[in-house]
Amino acid sequence: MLQQLDMSSPEFLEELEKTKKFTDKVCKQFGFEYHPMEDVNEGVIMGLARHKLLYGKRFCPCFMVEEDPAKPGKYKSVDDRVCPCPQALEKEIPEEGKCHCGIFCTPEFVKANS
């Protein structure tokens, strides 16, 4: 069942700010840059914040989240995509210059696509 969330609520806006700080930290830690298209970053950050509030983790917003049949009341994402996901760190970013969602990019990708 699709859960609803008021994205103008103080709770969501607070989580949105925390998520922005989280993505800033990921960029700094790994030497990434944000995607050159701001709407990509905004959409991903909003999706991460939404998932954190709804499911308790910053699941990648580009993949489905479902209840874990082995653990009722707990959730999991397809391919276990919790940001920053291993797939992005180990394969997507090194090979393509960006993660699947596009928020985390190599400096080279940003330069070539700005």
Q: What is the pLDDT of residues 66-96, one digit of tens each?
A: 888 888 888 888 788 999 999 999 999 999 9
Question: pTM for this one?
Answer: 0.90
Residue from 50, 53, 56, 35 nearest 101 by CA: 35
Please enumerate in sequence order all residues whose Cβ is within 8 A of that of 22, keeping only pairs 6 or more positions apart, or say none: 48, 58, 83
Residue 5: the pLDDT is: 82
What pLDDT, in 10s, does the model give residues 17-73? 999 999 999 999 999 999 999 999 999 999 999 999 999 999 999 998 988 888 888
Beta strand segments in the chain, E: 33-34, 65-67, 75-77, 104-105
Residue 1: the pLDDT is: 45
Residue 107: the pLDDT is: 98
- DSSP-based three-state secondary structure for 8: coil
Q: How far apart are CA 57 and CA 21, in angstroms?
A: 15
Query: For the chain, which domains are there?
Result: 11-113 (3.90.460.10)
Token pair in block for residue 40: 């990509």
Residue 3: the pLDDT is: 62
Burial of 103 per CB tally in 10 Å (0-12, 13-18, 19+): buried
Burial of 39 per CB tally in 10 Å (0-12, 13-18, 19+): exposed
Residue 20: the pLDDT is: 98
